[in-house]
Amino acid sequence: MIFKWIILLAVVFLVFWLFKPFQRRQKHSADTAARAAENMVRCAYCGVHHPESESITGNGHNFCCAEHSRLYSQSRSRRE
């Protein structure tokens, strides 16, 4: 009789254990879907991808910060 309860408890635990990551994944995919709606651009200097709204545009390239925009134009002018 007690064996039946242990199995029942194990089944309940298993259901919760299987369902928990699924819930988390659903929330995570909703977050990424909201973020994916925004266009991602690559920093021409360091290669980091970031939202277009946070990017700094210069010389026809996108940069993650003003510092990289400056460093990129410096390295370009040094090469030319």
By beta-carbon proximity to Zn ion, the closer residue of 26 and 57 is 57
- In whole angstroms, the minimum distance from the beta carbon of 8 to Zn ion comes to 56
By beta-carbon proximity to Zn ion, the closer residue of 47 and 80 is 47
Positions touching Zn ion (CB under 5 A) are: 43, 45-46, 64, 68
Number of H helices, E strands in the chain: 2, 4
d(CA 47, CA 44): 6
d(CA 53, CA 14): 43
By beta-carbon proximity to Zn ion, the closer residue of 61 and 68 is 68
- In whole angstroms, the minimum distance from the beta carbon of 36 to Zn ion comes to 21
- In whole angstroms, the minimum distance from the beta carbon of 32 to Zn ion comes to 22
Q: How far from 16 is each of 7, 23, 29, 45, 51, CA to CA, in Å?
A: 14, 10, 20, 46, 36
